[in-house]
């Protein structure tokens, strides 16, 4: 599949909880994916910054999307484990996540995901996701 086909496939699958959260695919290719969302009042915690669960959701979906095509063909995955480091509060009206495959093996893949707000030079969160392939 080429990049456009991968992106179209992922956009069609942005349903359910992902759609409810307002997640949007920006770009995708073999081993990479970027997503974003427009922050609204329902996404915020009592301090007025993005809720940590929303951040984790955006990062998880972005990382999982990388796993689908890490081998250059569609392989369904689920998150087996993840570790997220929250580095600073997410402020502003838009939040972005970018993920890249670190290693794709026969049974699992490891993906790194970074997240930032409207200040792209300042990382807000970073994480590592271990994905388990479901087609083995």
pLDDT in tens, 107-119: 999 999 999 998 8
* pLDDT the model gives residue 36: 97
* pLDDT the model gives residue 15: 94
pLDDT in tens, 22-74: 999 999 999 999 999 999 999 999 999 999 999 999 999 999 999 999 999 99
Greater pLDDT, 1 or 7: 7
Domains in the chain and their CATH numbers? Answer: 3-133 (3.10.129.10)
What share of residues in the chain are helix, strand, coil (percent, to 5)? 25, 40, 30
Cα separation, 4 vs 55, whole angstroms? 26
pLDDT in tens, 73-97: 999 999 999 999 999 999 889 999 9
* pLDDT the model gives residue 1: 83
* pLDDT the model gives residue 120: 75
Mean pLDDT of 102-109: 96
- Is the predicted pLDDT of residue 136 greater than 80, yes or no? no
Cα separation, 36 vs 29, whole angstroms? 16
* pLDDT the model gives residue 83: 98
* pLDDT the model gives residue 135: 87
Residue 25 exposure: Cα atoms within 13 Å on the Cβ side: 24
């Amino acid at each position: 599949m080429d990049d456009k086909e991968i992106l179209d496939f992922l956009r069609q699958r942005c349903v359910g909880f992902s759609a409810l959260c307002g997640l949007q695919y920006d770009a995708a290719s073999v081993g990479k994916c970027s997503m974003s969302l427009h922050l609204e009042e329902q996404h915020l915690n009592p301090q007025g910054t993005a809720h940590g669960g929303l951040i984790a959701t955006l990062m998880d979906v972005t990382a999982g999307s990388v796993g689908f095509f890490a081998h250059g063909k569609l392989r369904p995955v689920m998150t087996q484990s993840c570790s997220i480091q929250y580095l600073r509060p997410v402020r502003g009206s838009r939040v972005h996540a970018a993920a890249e495959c670190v290693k794709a093996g026969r049974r699992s893949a490891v993906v790194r995901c970074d997240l930032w707000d409207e200040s792209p030079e300042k990382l807000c969160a970073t994480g590592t996701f271990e994905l388990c392939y479901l087609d083995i």
